[in-house]
Structure 1
């Protein structure tokens, strides 16, 4: 039962955090004059990676699940994932300049 509750919690948190980040990023891209429909998948992947790092390093320790595998990501893995997410978020303006 705890696993099901944790899964529901993850889905709700991703919906809230993902929507908020997606709205903020889309607003920022619109202010820059970018077409947000073109780069939606890139933004979604970047938000998903950021949420994964946030969940594994902070949110998993405050949930209902108390089983095995509850450990933080190694520091280097967290840094690589955050850097790759930042690159993905910077990619649409760069692509727009090069291709547009």
Structure 2
């Protein structure tokens, strides 16, 4: 039962926080003058950020108490977050070339 509740929790976190982050980024891009932004790159960037947050923080506060619950190594976390930031920065520029 704890596993199913945790899957539901992950889905809700992804939808609510991911949707909010997407809306905020869209407004930031509009304020900066970018009308069309590559949504796929933004989605990947948000997913990477949420994945790092889940693996390093949120998995320890949920209902699932099984094996394999450990933080990502610091280098992996940093690499994923930097790649996510690069995607967010490059998304409007890559969309302009297509």
Please report the TM-score for the alignment, with normalisation by the length of structure 2.
0.92
Aligned to 1:92: 91
State the structure with bigger RCO (CA 8 A, min sep 6), 1 or 2: 2
Q: Secondary structure of the residue that 1:5 maps to in structure 2? A: helix
Counterpart CA distance in 1 for 2:64 and 2:34 is 41
For the 8 Å contact 1:47–1:85, the answer to whether it is kept is yes
Partner of 1:3: 3
Deviations 1:2-44 (A, max 9, x none): 10000000000111110111011000011112134x4111000
Partner of 1:25: 25
Counterpart CA distance in 2 for 1:96 and 1:77 is 28
Runs of 5+ consecutive residues of structure 2 not aligned to the other structure: none
CA distance in 2, matches of 1:35, 1:48: 22
Deviation at 1:47, TM superposition (A): 0.1
Structure 1: segments with no counterpart, 5+ residues: none
Q: Find the aligned partners of 2:32 and 2:66 in 1 and give their Cα distance.
A: 45
Q: Are the equivalent residues in 1 in contact too, given 2:18–2:47 (CA < 8 A)?
A: yes
Partner-residue secondary structure (3-state), 2:4: helix
Q: Per-residue deviation at 1:93? A: 3.5
1:15 is aligned to 15
User: How high is the TM-score relative to the length of structure 1?
Assistant: 0.91
User: What is the count of residue pairs matched by the alignment?
Assistant: 98
Q: Determine if contact 2:38/2:95 at 8 Å carries over to the other structure.
A: no
